[in-house]
Amino acid sequence: MTTKRISRRDFLKVSGIVLGSTLLVGSGLSVLENQQPEISLPEFQFGENQMSKKILVTYASQSGSTAGIAEAIGKSLSDGGAQVDVVPMNKVQDLSTYSAVIAGSAIQGQKWLPEAMQFMRDHQSELSRKPFASFMSCITLSMKNADQYRDGLKEWMSPVRAMVRPVSEGYFAGTLEFSKIPFSFNTLAMRIPVLMGIWKEGDHRDWNAIRNWAEGLRPLLLRV
């Protein structure tokens, strides 16, 4: 069977459907979203103490999917000999003890989450003086022929890139499991592309791709 190539126009059309669905549904359900409990976001420490070579992996996550990616990145770096802290962005106060930083976020409305962009603004000056890498978790990358969307997805990283130039950027499929996500207008809007057959529910994270990206980061971040 011949695989149909997805054009940039089709990519923008899919993105527009998702964004439009979010705005349409969200106009009537924002009050309900504010009543939902916060997601528990874990912290991890990997590797032996190396005071001058410690890496921070920090993340913003809606449902825990991006947290799992951050954990896998931290574990892969520590397996290569690095000391790594994995911490949610809203708990990071000081970057002075870290020699390098990796920051990642889930995507909402074709953007990093608001708290992730706030982290970048708050720490822009210090991040610009350290080796820095970025990643995003996006259900769009679970679609067939997802590699054809990467150029378009890179535009979603441009606000981050405009503040601090990453040494590397990671693009990973996330999860879509409605039973594990608190009700909100965004998750309700996400059901529309599922019904249209654009996405499928499930865990679409490619752990090999995540580990491979992390393994390639170590010499870039630690400059060894």
Would 197 be classed as within a structural domain?
yes
**Between these two residues, 140 and 104, which has the higher pLDDT value?**
104
Domain count, the chain: 1
Q: Report the distance separating Cα 147 and Cα 144, nearest Å.
A: 8
Q: What are the tens digits of pLDDT across the range 81-136?
A: 889 999 999 999 999 999 999 999 998 888 999 999 999 999 999 999 999 999 99
Amino acid 105: pLDDT: 97
3-state helix, strand, coil in the chain (%, to 5): 50, 20, 35
Nearest-CA neighbor of 182 among 34, 54, 46? Answer: 34
Would 21 be classed as within a structural domain?
no
- The mean pLDDT value for 42-47 works out to 87
Would 7 be classed as within a structural domain?
no
Would 19 be classed as within a structural domain?
no
Amino acid 125: pLDDT: 96
Q: What is the pTM of this model?
A: 0.76
Would 88 be classed as within a structural domain?
yes
Would 24 be classed as within a structural domain?
no
Q: Does position 137 have pLDDT exceeding 60, yes or no?
A: yes
Report the first-to-last Cα separation within the chain, whole angstroms: 47
Q: Which domain holds residue 197?
A: 41-222
Q: What would the two tokens of residue 179 be? A: 């039973």
Would 27 be classed as within a structural domain?
no
Question: Which CATH number is 144's domain given?
Answer: 3.40.50.360
Q: Does position 12 have pLDDT exceeding 70, yes or no?
A: no
- The mean pLDDT value for 159-173 works out to 96
Would 156 be classed as within a structural domain?
yes
